[in-house]
Amino acid sequence: MSDILKIAHRGASGYEPENTAASFKKAIEMNVDIIELDVRACRTGELVVFHDLTLERTTNGSGIVANSSLDELKKLDVGGGEHILTLEEAIDLIGQGAVINIEMKGKGVADKLVKILQGYLEKGYPPESFIVTSFDRKEFHRFALANPGVSLGILVGKDIFDFLIRAKRYGVYSIHLPQPYLKKWLVKFAQKQNFKVFIYTLNSIWDIAKAKMIGVNGIFSDYPDRI
C-alpha cells in the first residue's frame, strides 16, 4: 500500500454509478488501497450494497430499500445498465484486490454482517481485508460485540467530542473524519493515540493536496486517481 491510502468512495463513483460493479471494477483498475461501500438490509433479509434509505436518487424505482425484496431490487437500473449487488456479490467481485470498508446503514445489519464476514474469514480472507464502520452507534456496538476479528473504524459526524473515547473503547484501527475536521492538530493528536486517520470525502485536487500536507493516513474520494 502507498503511504497515503487511496480510498474509493462507493467505488470510483465519480466515473461510474456509485456502489456498483462498474464503480468497483474502475476503482480496482485505479489501484486503490480501499474500496468503501454501503450496506442495508432489504425486506427478504439479504444485505444489499446501497447508500440511501430510499431508491429514488440513484435508481429508476421508488420506495424504501427495507420494504423491497431482493428480487424487486435486482430489477432496478442503477444507471448505465448496472444493478444493485448483494454484499456477497460485491466482496466476490472485489476479492482481495483491495481492502473493503463496509459502512452499515439502517437497522438489522450487524448480526447479518457478522455471519457473512465470518464466512469469508473461514474461506481464508485475512481479517485485515475488511474495515467495518457505521454512524449508527447501536448497530456498531452490536457488531463490535460479535466481531469475528475484522478491523473497525469510527465514523465521525457531529460527535467530535467523544470519538477518541469511542475509538479507544472499541480498539479501532481507523478514525474517519469529515472534511471540516481536517485540522493538523486533530489529525496528529489522533495519530499519537495510534489510530490511522482517514478524511472524507475530498474531490478537489486542492483539498487532496492539503490533506497530504497535513499527513492523513488515507483519503476518501469519488475520484481516487486524483490522490
Residues with a catalytic annotation lie at: 9, 51
Between β-strands 34-41 and 5-9, what pairing exists: parallel, antiparallel or unpaired? Answer: parallel
Tell me the Cα Rg of the chain: 17
Q: How many CB atoms lie within 10 A of CB 178?
A: 15
Is there a contact between 48 and 42 (Cβ–Cβ < 8 Å)? yes
Reduced to 3 states (helix: H, G, I; strand: E, B; else coil), residue 127 is: helix
What is the grid cell recorded at 135? 454512524
Residue type for position 194? N
Cis peptide before 133 (omega within 30 of 0): no
